[in-house]
């Protein structure tokens, strides 16, 4: 299957999120967990460590003689050191270190752990290939687009003259709220079933603006936009009919020209557009 590595990366993110759920519960606990709470969490997580490591090994393997073995070893050490460090917190909790201080240390360590997991994923190169989705495959197309968003570090830009509310629900909710976001669309219409553009998304966009650290809805002339494009960090993807129409009919999806000159053209579109909020 094309873009298999992107799919594996997305699955690893999901698996890791499920695996560390016991730690997420400790992190959100308003009261300092006890030493036994930490021990129980470590035991629950340990049950799924082998499966995660096995899948990460597959992610780092490209052929029988091509494997990012060093990156796998680093990930292996990262997972095991995480377990060891939280076990150590349990051993010192309320003995040499007060529970309140242990909880504070754990919360800081938990945040670092999430960041380090993403860094390990980013060490494995993802080379996207163009593909054609057959008609009547909108869910497949949605999953592939979502895999593009699996790990974002610098920016998320979407250019669509027919931007609709569904985009916010299907894709924007997946993003880290600290990622810079630029949504570029036209003035649009909001009449009956013909709803798109700024007029159609203003209300939900205002909510996103309040929650994201760096967010803009940008209005441009309809003559400027034709094809739909998605920019994630330094990669630009062509989306054919847009996110809401991908896979309904025969649809092209894949990497586009991401030269410095092309990036500058997209930057100029954003800068010269009208910032709605």
| pLDDT tens digits, one per residue of 192-240 | 777 899 999 999 999 999 999 999 999 999 888 888 899 999 999 988 7
CA 87 – CA 267 distance, rounded (Å): 48
pLDDT at 140 over 90: no
pLDDT at 1 over 70: no
Question: What average pLDDT does this structure show over 32-43?
Answer: 96
Q: Write down the pLDDT at residue 143.
A: 82
Look at 95 and 53; give whichever has higher pLDDT. 53
Q: Write down the pLDDT at residue 173.
A: 85
Q: How many CB atoms lie within 10 A of CB 86?
A: 21
Q: Write down the pLDDT at residue 144.
A: 81
Q: Which of 142, 253, 268, 274 lies closest to 197 in space, CA to CA?
A: 274
Q: What are phi and psi of 65, to 5 degrees?
A: -115, 10
Q: Which of 104, 110, 96, 93 lies closest to 38 in space, CA to CA?
A: 93
CA 83 – CA 86 distance, rounded (Å): 5
Q: What secondary structure, in 3-state letters, does 33-101 show?
A: CCHHHHHHHHHHHHCCHHHHHHHHHHHCEEECCEECHHHHHHHHHHHHHHHHHHHHHHHHECCCECHHH
Question: What average pLDDT does this structure show over 89-116?
Answer: 94
CA 128 – CA 146 distance, rounded (Å): 13
CA 186 – CA 222 distance, rounded (Å): 6
The residues near 10 (Cβ < 8 Å, ≥ 6 apart) are: 143, 146, 147, 150
Look at 4 and 53; give whichever has higher pLDDT. 53
Confidence of residue 137 (pLDDT cuts 50, 70, 90): confident
- Residue matched to tokens 């007029």: 199
Question: Rounded to whole angstroms, what are the CA distances from 17 to 10, 25, 159, 265?
Answer: 11, 12, 30, 37
Question: What average pLDDT does this structure show over 78-101?
Answer: 94
Question: What average pLDDT does this structure show over 172-179?
Answer: 89
Confidence of residue 60 (pLDDT cuts 50, 70, 90): very high
CA 132 – CA 139 distance, rounded (Å): 14
Q: Which of 54, 72, 81, 63 lies closest to 124 in space, CA to CA?
A: 72
Q: Write down the pLDDT at residue 183.
A: 97
CA 274 – CA 186 distance, rounded (Å): 10
Q: Are 28 and 169 in contact (CB under 8 A)?
A: no
Residue percentage of the chain with pLDDT more than 70: 99
Where would I find the beta strands (DSSP E) of 85-201? Answer: 131-133, 156-159, 181-185, 189-191, 194-196
């Amino acid at each position: 299957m094309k873009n298999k590595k992107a799919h594996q990366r997305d699955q690893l993110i999901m698996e890791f999120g499920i695996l560390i759920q016991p730690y997420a519960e400790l992190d959100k606990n308003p009261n300092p967990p006890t030493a036994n709470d930490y021990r129980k969490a470590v035991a629950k997580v340990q049950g799924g460590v082998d499966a995660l490591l096995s899948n990460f090994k597959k992610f780092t393997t490209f052929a029988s003689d091509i494997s990012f073995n060093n990156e796998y070893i680093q990930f292996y050490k990262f997972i095991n050191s995480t377990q060891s460090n939280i076990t150590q917190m349990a051993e010192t909790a309320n003995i040499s270190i007060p529970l309140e201080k242990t909880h504070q240390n754990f919360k800081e360590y938990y945040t670092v752990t999430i960041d380090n997991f993403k860094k390990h994923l980013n060490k494995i190169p993802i080379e996207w290939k163009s593909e054609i989705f057959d008609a009547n495959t909108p869910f497949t197309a949605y999953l592939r687009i979502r895999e593009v968003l699996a790990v974002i570090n610098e920016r998320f830009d979407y250019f669509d003259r027919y931007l609709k509310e569904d985009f916010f629900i299907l894709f924007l909710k997946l993003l880290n709220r600290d990622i810079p976001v630029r949504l570029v669309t036209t003035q649009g219409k909001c009449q009956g079933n013909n709803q798109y553009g700024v007029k159609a998304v203003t209300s939900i966009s205002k909510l996103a603006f309040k929650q994201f650290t760096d967010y803009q809805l940008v209005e441009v002339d309809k003559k400027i936009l034709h094809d739909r494009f998605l920019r994630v960090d330094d990669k630009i993807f062509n989306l054919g009919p847009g996110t809401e129409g991908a896979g309904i009919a025969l649809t092209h999806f894949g990497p586009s020209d991401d030269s410095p000159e092309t990036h500058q053209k997209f930057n100029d579109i954003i800068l010269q557009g009208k910032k709605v909020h």
